[in-house]
A and B are shown apart, each in its own frame.
Chain A
Amino acid sequence: MSAPDADTIASGRRLGVPEQADADGEGARRIIRARGLGRRFGDRPVLSGLDIALDRGGFLLVTGPNGSGKSTLLRLFAGLLAPTAGELEVRSDRRRLGFLGHEPLLYRELTALENLDLYGRLYRVPERRERIGMLLERFGLWDARGATVSTFSRGMVQRLALCRTLLHDPELLLMDEPFSGLDSDGADLLQAELADPGGRTLVVASHQPERIETLATERLALA
C-alpha cells in the first residue's frame, strides 16, 4: 500500500491509491479493496466515499470518535453488513476471517470450554482440544474453563472472546475496540499478540489507539 498523505488520512476519505496499485499489477497482494464505499442506515449516512486498499500482512488502524463509523466499517469488512454505495472486495473467505466486535459472540450459558469447542467444530479447527487448551492457557482462563460465561467478569469475557477470535488462526483479523474491558495484564497479552501477528492482516478500530499506534502500518481516521 502506498503511504497516504496526511490530509487524506485526516479526512478519513481516502487511504492508499488502489487504482494505481491495480495498474501496477499489485491487486493480488490486496486483501481489502474499497472504492467509494458507503453505508447508510435509513436516511443517515454513516460512511461515504471511502477508498481503501490494504495489503496482506498489513495493519490498518481505524480511529475516530464515537459514531464515526468504525464498527460499521469492520462489519462491512466482515460481511455482516452490505455496502449501500461503492464497491468492497475482501479477499478472504469466512474460514480465515476472525472478527471481534462489540459483542463477544459467546453463549453466556455455556462454559468457556463449550463455547470454544462449538466454534472449533464449526471452523473445523485441527487438533481442536490442544488449540483450545493452548489459547485458554495463554489468556489466563484455563482455571475458569469449566465455568459458564455468565459468571465471568467483563475482562474475562473479553479474553475469552479473543480466544474465540484467534481459535481458527485467521489470516484476516478484524477487531473493534479489542482492549475494551481488559485489565493491564490482558491488555499486555493482546498487545503482544498484535505485535507479532505471524503474517496476519490486522484491522483494528479504536478510539484510544495509544497502545497500538506504533504497530500500525496504515491509519484511517474517520471523522
Chain B
Amino acid sequence: MTGYLADAAALARKDLIVELRTRDTVPAMLLFVVAALVVFHFALPAESSRLAASGMLWIALLFTALLALVRAFVGERDQGTLDGLVLAPCDRSAIWLGKTLSVLAFLLFAEAVALPAFALFYEDVTWELVAGVALANVGIATVGTLLGAMAAAARARELLLPLLFLPVAIPLVVGGVGATVDDDPGRYLAFLGLYDLIFAILSWASFEYVVTE
C-alpha cells in the first residue's frame, strides 16, 4: 500500500513540476473562471436570486475543470509517455490516482481564485459552499480523469470529453447547488460524498482497461 501511494505521489509530483514549468493549464483555468464569473455578473439581472448566482458559479467551475481534464492525458499521449507509465511495474490504477491528485490540485488553485471572485461579484462564501465545492472536486477529478484518459486517445478529444463528462457531472451540479441553497445542506453533502465514493471505486477499478489493449 505504501508503494502504491508512493507511486501515485511520484506521478502527481511529476505533473505538478511539469505544470510549474509549462504553465499550460492553471493560468488558463484561472483566466477562464474569473472571466466567466465577470460575464455572468453582467449577464444576470440585478435582482437575480442567490439561486441563479449559485448556479452560475457551478457552471463556471465545471467548465473550468474541463480545461484541466482535457489536458490531463494529452501530453502523455502526444509525447508517448503513457506507454512508459503503462510499462512500469506499478499498479495501473496508481497512474489514475496520481493524475487525479494533480487535477485536484489544479482545481484547488482555480477555486482559490474563483471563490473570492464569487464573493466579490455575487455574495458571501458560506461553509456549505466550500464543503460542496470540496466534495464536488473529488467527484470531478476521479471520474473526469478516467474520462480524460478515454478521450485523449480520440482525434476529437476536445469535443468528446465534454460529451462524456457533462452528463456524468450533472449529479455534482445538483448536489453542489443543493448544498449551497437548501435549508438542509447535509443531505446534499452526503449525496456528493456518496457520488465520490461510487465513482472513485468505478474509476479506480476500470482505469486499467482504458490504457491497455
Chain A positions near chain B (C-beta within 8 angstroms): 78-82, 93-95, 97, 99, 101-110, 114, 118-119, 121-124, 148, 164
Contact = CB atoms under 8 A, between A and B. Distances in A.
Contact of A124 (B3, B11, B79, B86): B3
Interface in B58-99: 79-81, 83-90
The range of chain B's interface size is: 20 to 34
Given A105-B84, A148-B21, 8 more contacts: A78-B87, A79-B87, A80-B87, A82-B213, A103-B79, A104-B80, A119-B88, A122-B90
Contacts of A95: 89
A118 B83 contact: no
B89 to A, nearest CB: 4
Interface in B191-213: 212-213
Nearest to B19: A109
A104 to B, nearest CB: 8
A102 B10 CA distance: 25
Contacts of A94: 87-89
Interface of B: 3, 6-7, 10-11, 14, 17-18, 21-22, 79-81, 83-90, 212-213
Contacts of B21: 109, 148
Contact of A121 (B10, B81, B84, B212): B10
Consensus secondary structure, chain A interface: loop
Contacts of B85: 122
A119 B6 contact: no
Contacts of A103: 79-81, 83
Contacts of B79: 103, 106-108
A79 B89 CA distance: 12
Nearest to A96: B89
A121 B83 contact: no
Nearest to A174: B87
Given A81-B213, A95-B89, A122-B10, A109 B81 contact: no
